Structure 1
Amino acid sequence: MGDVSPNEPAPQNQSEAQYSAKLTGDRGSTPEETLQWRKQDVRTLWRARRRELGEDERAEQSGALTRHVLDWYLPRARHRRAAVVMSYGTEPDTGPLRQALHEAGVEVLVPITEPERQLSWARWFPGVELARSPVAPIDEPVGERYGLETMRTVDLVLVPAQVVDLRGIRMGQGGGYYDRFLAGVRRQRQDGEGGPVTLASVFRHELMSRGFIPAGEFDVPVDGAVTADGVTWFGDRETPPGV
């Protein structure tokens, strides 16, 4: 199905080589300021690169990505609960994945943006009532909200990212919602409470070599990434935890 060895070094792709040359040098008076400047450079450049993808290419890659998630997940699902971001803008389209999971009898949860950069979760199904989020430019399901504790019985979380490297370090939009969420999942695992497999969803050119993304102490890696080429597991994982 296109699984990639976790220890296989990814060659620097054309986008990585091209945009690495555009990244600015060190700025800021402290290491933390320099880190934030560097992250902003990466974020700005990859937003622009994503906008350059045509609609047909986005649709083709999103469809392949969906098939890879289903092929990997459905034979391994224990709880038959999966959390999937509701894509918007130029992100990989997760609508077909949510629909396919629902049709396969999987309970689908989607993230809800809460104050103080926190996430809760709500059930999604075709035709669910939606309302505009008060804190983000996206429509979200109306209904009961679930906290981090519900992740104990979730098999898989598809995490949004603009770019991810082979350490599992991802770059999001900069809001910090998923940094806090991933830290919570890590605490659950450390406490022996189980937890979901975390997969970043990105386009082909957004999977980068190890160390490409600047990382700080609060950056929590995801378990793997899924692209149109398949699922790649990070670190020394041959099989991910939790499923």
Structure 2
Amino acid sequence: MSPNDPTPQDQPTAEYSASLTGHRGSTPQETLAWRKQDTRTLWRARRRELGEAERTAQSEAITRHVLEWYLPRARHRRAAVVMSYGTEPQTGPLREALHGAGIEVLVPITEPERQLSWTAWHPGVELARSAVAPIDEPVGERLGVETMATVDLVLVPAQVVDLLGIRMGQGGGYYDRFLAGVRRLREAGDGGPVTVASVFRHELMTRGYLPAGEFDEPVDGAVTADGLTWFGDGVDPLAARA
């Protein structure tokens, strides 16, 4: 992080710490599951408390930061962007702006066995109800994780993320499985996108804040209304590839 980077929250709050004291499983795995569920409950409530106007304002700032960073660095001119729902940072304007700039936009499709595929998105694309989740998704050819070899950026949803790159999602495991596939692409030398979690300003936390297990896959960075933060060595991965 540079001196101008967003400042993450420094310490777990008393509210968060207190929420963990009542749950201890009989195994480390059960205890971890309880801690994760408590964390999700807390951060879902905090996100709702922001209010619609503040969520919209921060979402607009997130969109600006992504466009200003990504467009000058786009190599493959393909970006994968989550379709936002409920109180998540809004991604509709970002998808529209990317499409308008000539970027091919991919969005996730939920599949059986908690897997994700990807399909092309454009304004007015036909939508259909998902077979496995209570959401509407675009209709089109479904692409596997191997297509990520020629994608520059994946914007990943999260409830909260810490400076180790550990993110807390909704608990379905879809994105951890997907991120593991991206990691395997990189390890095989087949390329792979930069992975960025989109969160509100108060949802970027210090290193080690989040409980994590062996299947929790880190992201490369996070974007908030204050800008982009890169984890690991702090270097912008797209700039490093230029």
TM-score (norm 1): 0.93
Q: Deviations over 1:201-243 (max 9, x none)?
A: 0000110111110011111100000000000000113121666
Q: 8 Å contact 2:8–2:204 — kept in the other structure?
A: no
Q: CA deviation at 1:184?
A: 0.4
Map of 2:158 onto structure 1: 161
Q: 8 Å contact 1:168–1:223 — kept in the other structure?
A: yes
Distance 1:174 1:138 in 2: 16
Map of 2:61 onto structure 1: 64
Please give the residue correspondences for 1:93-172 in structure 2 after superposition, counting only pairs within 5 Å: 93-172=90-169
Q: 8 Å contact 2:8–2:202 — kept in the other structure?
A: no
Q: Deviations over 1:172-207 (max 9, x none)?
A: 000000000000000110110000000000000110
Q: 8 Å contact 1:9–1:209 — kept in the other structure?
A: no
Task: Tell me the SS of whatever aligns to 1:210.
Answer: coil
Out of 184, 187, 190, the position equivalent to 2:187 is 190
One-letter amino acid of the counterpart of residue 42, structure 2? L
Point out the more displaced range, 187-196 or 133-142.
Answer: 133-142
Calculate the aligned-residue CA RMSD, in Å: 1.9
Distance 1:11 1:100 in 2: 28
One-letter amino acid of the counterpart of residue 19, structure 1? E
5+ residue gaps, structure 1, are: none
Q: CA deviation at 1:137?
A: 1.7
- 1:28 and 2:20 aligned: no
Point out the more displaced range, 167-176 or 17-26.
Answer: 17-26
- 1:19 and 2:15 aligned: yes
5+ residue gaps, structure 2, are: none
Q: 8 Å contact 1:169–1:220 — kept in the other structure?
A: yes
Q: CA deviation at 1:5?
A: 2.8
One-letter amino acid of the counterpart of residue 139, structure 1? D
Q: CA deviation at 1:143?
A: 1.0
Distance 1:19 1:32 in 2: 23
Distance 2:7 2:91 in 1: 25
Out of 39, 44, 48, the position equivalent to 1:47 is 44
Q: Deviations over 1:33-71 (max 9, x none)?
A: 111111111011101111111111011000000000001
Out of 215, 218, 221, the position equivalent to 1:221 is 218
Task: Tell me the SS of whatever aligns to 1:220.
Answer: coil
Out of 190, 202, 206, the position equivalent to 1:205 is 202
Q: How much identity, in percent, do the aligned residues show?
A: 78
Q: 8 Å contact 2:9–2:202 — kept in the other structure?
A: no
Task: Tell me the SS of whatever aligns to 1:168.
Answer: coil
TM-score (norm 2): 0.94
Q: CA deviation at 1:20?
A: 2.5
Distance 2:65 2:194 in 1: 15
Point out the more displaced range, 218-227 or 23-32.
Answer: 23-32
One-letter amino acid of the counterpart of residue 85, structure 1? V
Distance 2:134 2:101 in 1: 30
Distance 2:10 2:233 in 1: 22
- 1:231 and 2:209 aligned: no
How many positions carry a matched residue from both structures?
Answer: 239
Q: CA deviation at 1:11?
A: 5.2
Task: Tell me the SS of whatever aligns to 1:140.
Answer: strand
Q: CA deviation at 1:18?
A: 4.9
